[in-house]
């Protein structure tokens, strides 16, 4: 494919960032992915893999192997043809387009852009004169549109809005944006302006409308997003999902008004999209009611309902939450899309509060729960992400409900959105990713060059190059794991002692700083060529869960830097459940460039349980055991894996150990 250079578009209008009379709650704003060039040794190959492998897989599945694009063509032909597939399949087209938009910035490709334009032409041709766009109802009967709140009409619309704004911001082409505007106007005229109650069964449109508002400056879309949020918790929900006894209003976060919510309930992905939208609307409307609710619910999620991998949603029955501290490992659901949602939501919470604990959770979900959803080859996927396996789990080429492949693709391609943030007189460094960017502060532009071997090394170098000497604050996130706290809250704790400390230098000398909400604040006059060095110690840490997490009692997990580790069958003589790791077992680390695209492995000597030849007795013998990063498992065929390992022989599952 021939490469071309794309022009990053300017916004359509001057954005009306804050409505009259409202003051934004944001402490800072993210530096856009379009302003960040990633050259990172860990992430750049993954971004390229998504561009060159994952996105073509999404295109092939969307256009050739499934009827998703074909449905749009059928609508345009107007020959009464039948709809194929599932009623929410349109959304996968839009998510793929959004991933393509990000990819065109990261990896410009004329042929890929041409393919996107072909799809956009077909989407535009399927839009009705009144702005409505949904192939399922257009082909099965428009008399049924907007009658079942669960049928994902506005969920599909939300992903259309996100794709449209991303594609416009990358290419400057507004055809898809115009489609999105007409559809958003149709929804607003149908519901908010008519005061007609409507509760979306699957949230997503709320956060997407805020993106549309940012791109167009039209406050109508912000008001519509707020209206959607206010519809919840008043008994307005109708449709099959609300009458299902096993689901009900809690499944769709519709049991209490949003601002009164105290705890996480229902479907994990729907919840993440809802809370991201609530944070966005609360920020732009200057409404602390949303923020207060989000803080309460966040604590319930992270303190009582989150896996050590940053995954959420333990129950496959409802694809979401069950009871506090119910965190099974082998049966863990942990949908990839839910971890993507955790990245989105925690970024918004960080921008609103300036508290690094939200980036700590974002980073955990990104490197573990979300990245695990994508194979190293880029063409296999996990829908759910368990923390233990007896060999029944394999990555899939695709899914009937195919939300995860395009979702992880768009997340990886848009990684640049999460690295840096800025306020009027401060630059915030949130993620340690090799990259360059230029940040516009009140007193002038500041170029940054970040170099790091993260997540394998804790050494980070940041070159600071203001266009002229100026005073501003640089805020470096110091991860909680580097300060003795693996995860915010008390569910998980480090079980070993570590006295190593992080070090910060400027131009090779120690620098004075203050710690503020998890950031090392350096306030000084900066000149071109200043170099900041951050050294984060990365010992192997042993993690325990509190006794309330019954599935992890008397077990330990291992973490190094931001990465959670697991033990998998290929590295441990075909088994991963026949050993235990006594307390204080020392581990060594080694980088293996030939293993799993290059990983740091953990190695130790530990007692391995083995049966006698006649099966009448068992004994233990010390052997080498090896752990790999959790995100990299299941790339070498099915077999045993576990994150949480027994500390005593009596806790070993004999059935799994004998297999």
Predicted confidence (pLDDT) per residue in 547-570, tens digit: 999 999 999 999 999 999 999 999
**Does 145 score more than 90 pLDDT?**
yes
Strands 530-535 and 503-506: antiparallel
Q: What percent of the chain has pLDDT over 90?
A: 88
Burial of 655 (0-12, 13-18, 19+ CB in 10 A): exposed
**Does 21 score more than 50 pLDDT?**
no
pLDDT value of position 214? 96
Mean pLDDT of 53-79: 97
With beta carbons less than 8 A apart as the criterion, state whether 235 and 257 touch.
Answer: no
For the whole model, what pTM was predicted? 0.94
Mean pLDDT of 77-91: 97
Residues 388 and 444 reside in one and the same domain: no
**Does 651 score more than 50 pLDDT?**
yes
Residues 528 and 615 reside in one and the same domain: no
| Structural domain ending residue among the three candidates 418, 443, 465 | 418
With beta carbons less than 8 A apart as the criterion, state whether 590 and 603 touch.
Answer: yes
Q: pLDDT per residue over 233-253, tens digit each?
A: 999 988 777 777 556 788 889
Residues 441 and 582 reside in one and the same domain: no
**Residue 272 tokens, joined:** 């993440």
pLDDT value of position 245? 53
Give the confidence band of 615 by pLDDT, cuts at 50, 70, 90. Answer: low
Residues 286 and 204 reside in one and the same domain: yes
Give the confidence band of 9 by pLDDT, cuts at 50, 70, 90. Answer: very low
CA distance 278 to 285: 10
Query: In terms of pLDDT, which residue wins out, 393 or 1?
Result: 393
Is residue 28 in some structural domain? no
Tell which residue, 262, 253, 261, has the closest CA to residue 232. 253
Mean pLDDT of 63-84: 97
Give the confidence band of 70 by pLDDT, cuts at 50, 70, 90. Answer: very high
Residues 455 and 312 reside in one and the same domain: no
Q: pLDDT per residue over 157-206, tens digit each?
A: 999 999 999 999 999 999 999 999 999 999 999 999 999 999 999 999 99
Give the confidence band of 13 by pLDDT, cuts at 50, 70, 90. Answer: very low
With beta carbons less than 8 A apart as the criterion, state whether 252 and 274 touch.
Answer: no
Is residue 3 in some structural domain? no
Strands 540-545 and 509-510: unpaired
What is the Cβ-side half-sphere exposure of residue 526, based on CA atoms within 13 angstroms? 28
Residues 387 and 262 reside in one and the same domain: yes
Residues 375 and 438 reside in one and the same domain: no
Residues 426 and 409 reside in one and the same domain: no
Instruction: Return the residue matching tokens 């991303």.
Output: 166
Is residue 241 in some structural domain? yes
DSSP state of 50: I
pLDDT value of position 319? 87
Give the confidence band of 64 by pLDDT, cuts at 50, 70, 90. Answer: very high
- Tell me the β-bridge partners of 526: 470
- Tell me the β-bridge partners of 435: 38, 450
For all residues of the chain together, what is the average pLDDT? 93
Tell which residue, 537, 594, 601, 595, has the closest CA to residue 566. 601
Residues 373 and 506 reside in one and the same domain: no
Q: What is the DSSP string of 143-197?
A: GGTTS-TTS-HHHHHHHHHHHHHHHHHHH---HHHHHHHHHHHHHHHHTGGGT--
Is residue 4 in some structural domain? no
Domain count, the chain: 3
pLDDT value of position 616? 66
**Does 631 score more than 80 pLDDT?**
yes
Per-residue CA distances from 144 to 151, 153, 231, 625 (Å) = 10, 11, 21, 59
Residues 285 and 425 reside in one and the same domain: no
pLDDT value of position 318? 87
Give the confidence band of 428 by pLDDT, cuts at 50, 70, 90. Answer: very high
Mean pLDDT of 270-294: 95
Q: Any residues with CB less than 8 A from the CB of 141 and at least 6 apart, and which? A: none
Give the confidence band of 2 by pLDDT, cuts at 50, 70, 90. Answer: very low
Q: pLDDT per residue over 477-524, tens digit each?
A: 999 999 999 999 999 999 999 999 999 999 999 999 999 999 999 999
Residues 333 and 358 reside in one and the same domain: yes
Active site residues: 319, 403
pLDDT value of position 246? 56
Q: pLDDT per residue over 378-389, tens digit each?
A: 999 999 999 999
CATH code of the domain containing 234: 1.50.10.20
Give the confidence band of 7 by pLDDT, cuts at 50, 70, 90. Answer: very low
| Structural domain ending residue among the three candidates 387, 418, 449 | 418
E-strand ranges in 293-397 read 388-390
Is residue 652 in some structural domain? yes
**Does 605 score more than 80 pLDDT?**
yes
Tell which residue, 145, 136, 144, 217, has the closest CA to residue 181. 217
* Segments forming the whole domain that contains residue 644: 540-658
Query: In terms of pLDDT, which residue wins out, 243 or 438?
Result: 438
**Does 104 score more than 50 pLDDT?**
yes
Residues 413 and 427 reside in one and the same domain: no
Is residue 159 in some structural domain? yes
CA distance 282 to 279: 5
């Amino acid at each position: 494919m021939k490469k071309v250079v794309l022009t990053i578009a300017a916004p359509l209008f001057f954005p009306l960032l804050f409505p009259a009379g409202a003051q934004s709650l944001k402490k800072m704003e993210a530096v856009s992915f379009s302003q960040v060039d990633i050259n990172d040794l860990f992430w750049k190959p993954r971004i390229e893999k998504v561009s060159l492998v994952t996105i073509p897989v999404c295109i092939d599945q969307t256009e050739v192997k499934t009827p998703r694009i074909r449905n749009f063509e059928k609508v345009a032909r107007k020959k009464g043809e039948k709809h194929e597939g599932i009623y929410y399949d349109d959304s996968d087209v839009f998510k793929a387009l959004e991933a393509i938009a990000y990819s065109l910035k990261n990896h410009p490709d004329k042929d890929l852009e041409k393919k996107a334009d072909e799809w956009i032409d077909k989407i535009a041709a399927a839009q009705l004169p009144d702005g409505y766009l949904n192939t399922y109802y257009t082909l099965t009967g428009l008399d049924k549109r907007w009658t079942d709140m669960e049928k994902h009409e506005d969920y599909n619309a939300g992903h259309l809005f996100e794709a449209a704004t991303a594609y416009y911001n990358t290419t400057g082409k507004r055809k898809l944006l115009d489609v999105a505007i007409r559809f958003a106007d149709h929804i607003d005229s149908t519901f908010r302006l008519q005061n007609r109650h409507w509760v979306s069964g699957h949230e997503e449109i709320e956060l997407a409308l805020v993106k549309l508002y940012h791109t167009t400056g039209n406050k109508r879309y912000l008001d519509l997003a707020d209206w959607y949020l206010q519809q919840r918790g008043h008994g307005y929900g109708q449709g099959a999902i609300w009458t299902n006894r096993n689901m009900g209003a809690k499944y769709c976060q519709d049991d209490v008004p949003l601002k009164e919510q105290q705890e996480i309930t229902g479907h994990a992905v729907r919840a993440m999209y809802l809370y991201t939208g609530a944070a966005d609307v609360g920020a732009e409307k200057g409404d602390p009611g949303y923020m207060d609710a989000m803080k309460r619910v966040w604590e319930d999620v992270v303190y009582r309902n989150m896996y050590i991998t940053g995954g959420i949603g333990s129950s496959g029955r409802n694809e979401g939450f069950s009871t506090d501290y119910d965190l099974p490992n082998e049966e863990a659901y942990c949908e990839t899309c839910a971890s993507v949602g955790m990245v989105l939501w925690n970024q918004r919470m960080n921008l609103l509060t300036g508290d690094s604990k939200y980036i700590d959770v974002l980073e955990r979900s990104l490197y573990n729960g979300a990245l695990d959803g994508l194979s190293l080859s880029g063409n296999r996927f996990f829908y759910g992400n368990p923390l233990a396996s007896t060999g029944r789990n394999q990555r899939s080429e695709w899914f009937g409900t195919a939300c995860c492949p395009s979702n992880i693709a768009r997340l990886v391609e848009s990684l640049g959105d999460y690295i840096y943030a800025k306020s009027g007189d401060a630059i915030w460094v949130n993620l340690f990713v090799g990259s360059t960017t230029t940040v516009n502060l009140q007193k002038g532009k500041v170029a940054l060059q970040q170099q790091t071997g993260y997540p394998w090394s804790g050494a980070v170098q940041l070159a600071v190059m203001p266009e002229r000497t100026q005073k501003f604050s640089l805020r470096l996130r110091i991860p909680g794991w580097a300060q003795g706290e693996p995860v915010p809250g008390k569910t998980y704790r480090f079980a070993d002692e570590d006295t190593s400390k992080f070090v910060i230098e400027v131009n090779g000398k120690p620098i004075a700083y203050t710690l503020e909400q998890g950031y090392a604040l350096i306030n000084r006059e900066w000149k071109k060529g200043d170099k900041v060095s951050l050294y984060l110690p990365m010992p192997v840490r042993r993690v325990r869960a509190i006794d309330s997490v019954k599935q992890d009692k008397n077990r330990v997990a291992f973490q190094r830097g931001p990465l959670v580790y697991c033990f998998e069958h290929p590295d441990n003589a075909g088994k991963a459940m026949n050993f235990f790791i006594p307390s204080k077992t020392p581990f060594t680390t080694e980088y293996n460039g030939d293993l799993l695209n290059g990983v740091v492995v953990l190695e130790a000597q530990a007692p391995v349980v083995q049966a006698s030849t006649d099966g009448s007795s068992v004994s233990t013998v010390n052997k080498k055991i090896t752990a790999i990063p959790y995100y990299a498992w299941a790339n070498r065929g099915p077999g045993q894996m576990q994150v949480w390992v027994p500390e005593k022989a009596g806790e070993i599952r004999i059935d799994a150990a004998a297999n």
